[in-house]
């Protein structure tokens, strides 16, 4: 019997379903996070911007390799979480950090996989509606997620190849999907009415939408990525934060510390990005999380190059605010090939936002650690 998949409109209705229709309440558990505090910054030689951005990442280290890797020491963590900042005028600085309140570090024990489970989001009244509106496109070809009024979370390999900054990183731009003025229609406030009106509602993204671009002012990349040279431990640090030159005026998604996958509703993760086999279209997908290490989450979400850098998120109940909330819990690193005994294996991998990474990224966004103590 042929396997049936839900239509895009029914799927979107379920994705955006109000809390009143939810029958269980997996909760965000607030925890005190350590402090990652910048110590001093030094100027570094200007980058050369030689290579093109890589949309796929390869590694010789598979999940078992990561699970059995030696635990990083306190000194190692300070080295990995030190970071470089690329400024829009071409200057490069390196900042050392200090760690405070850090507990001992512990580890928990194919691009398209079968049927293509991706959904192109069509119609400006979907694309411009949260949570899909937080997805943005980078001029280097990757995706990103709005995590602040002027901040975008993405993958480090989208701006740095592990050795140097890629072409286009100095004049990096972030693209926001926007309806062309002549195609704007009256907003539809009732999502169920939109679902019932059929598949021809709204324009197709690739035909009726355009990108509005904003330049990046600063780009932060952790030294763990640069020192790791995009393999082994470096994969754990495949994330970067962009600060835009002006506010984007859209709702952003909050950061959250990545919970164990068994605590996720249905063990499910979601993300939206700009896969390059569907030019101009925003592509949404969800799937069950698979294996995990303390820093990486392996899954078989269908994706193509271009989706890397997307924010991986989950939706759970916020008991303190008494509402359902989506939070970014990882960064989709992309499709990664692993060579084992002469044979290739494939994984789709996301970098988990650990308490330390949360503290670092939050500090980059807010500029102080006081607002970053609970994740």
Taking a C-beta distance cutoff of 8 angstroms, is the pair 240, 159 a contact?
yes
The answer to whether residue 275 is catalytic is: no
Q: Which of 270, 222, 255 is nearest to 358 (CA)?
A: 255
- List the catalytic residue out of 308, 310, 333, 335: 308
The answer to whether residue 116 is catalytic is: no
- List the catalytic residue out of 62, 76, 149, 232: 232
The answer to whether residue 300 is catalytic is: no
Q: Which of 220, 291, 221, 218 is nearest to 261 (CA)?
A: 291
- Please classify residue 278 by burial: count the beta carbons closer than 10 Å to its beta carbon, then call 0-12 exposed, 13-18 middle and 19+ buried: middle
Active centre residues (catalytic): 157, 232, 308
């Amino acid at each position: 019997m042929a396997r049936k998949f839900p239509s895009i409109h029914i799927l979107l209705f379920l994705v955006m379903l109000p809390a009143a229709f939810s029958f269980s309440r997996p909760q965000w558990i607030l925890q005190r996070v350590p402090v990652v505090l910048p110590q001093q910054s030094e100027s570094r030689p200007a980058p050369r911007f030689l290579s093109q951005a890589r949309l796929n990442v390869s590694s010789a280290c598979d999940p078992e390799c990561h699970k059995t890797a030696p635990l990083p020491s306190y000194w190692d963590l300070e080295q990995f979480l030190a970071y470089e900042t690329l400024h829009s005028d071409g200057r490069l600085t390196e900042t050392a950090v200090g760690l405070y309140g850090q507990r001992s570090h512990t580890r928990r024990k194919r691009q398209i996989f079968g049927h293509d489970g991706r959904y192109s989001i069509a119609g400006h009244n979907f694309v411009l509606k949260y949570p899909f509106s937080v997805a943005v496109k980078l001029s280097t070809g990757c995706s990103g997620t709005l995590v602040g009024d002027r901040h975008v979370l993405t993958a480090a390999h989208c701006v740095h190849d592990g050795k140097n900054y890629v072409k286009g990183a100095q004049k990096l731009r972030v693209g926001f999907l926007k309806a062309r003025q002549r195609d704007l229609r009256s907003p539809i406030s009732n999502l169920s009415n939109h679902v019932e009106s059929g598949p021809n509602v709204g324009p197709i993204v690739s035909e009726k939408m355009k990108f509005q671009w904003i330049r990046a002012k600063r780009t932060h990349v952790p030294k763990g990525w640069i020192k790791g040279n995009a393999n082994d431990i470096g994969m754990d640090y495949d994330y970067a934060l962009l600060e835009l030159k002006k506010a984007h005026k859209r709702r952003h998604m909050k950061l959250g510390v990545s919970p164990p996958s068994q605590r996720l509703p249905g063990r499910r993760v979601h993300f939206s990005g700009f896969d390059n086999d569907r030019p101009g279209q925003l592509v949404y997908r969800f799937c069950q999380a698979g294996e995990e290490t303390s820093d990486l989450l392996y899954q078989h979400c269908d994706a193509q190059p271009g989706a890397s850098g997307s924010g991986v998120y989950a939706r759970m109940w916020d008991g303190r605010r008494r509402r359902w909330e989506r939070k970014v819990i990882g960064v989709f690193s992309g499709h990664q090939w692993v060579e084992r005994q002469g044979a290739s294996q494939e994984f789709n991998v996301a970098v988990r936002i650990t308490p330390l990474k949360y503290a670092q990224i939050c500090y980059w966004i807010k500029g102080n650690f006081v607002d970053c103590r609970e994740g």
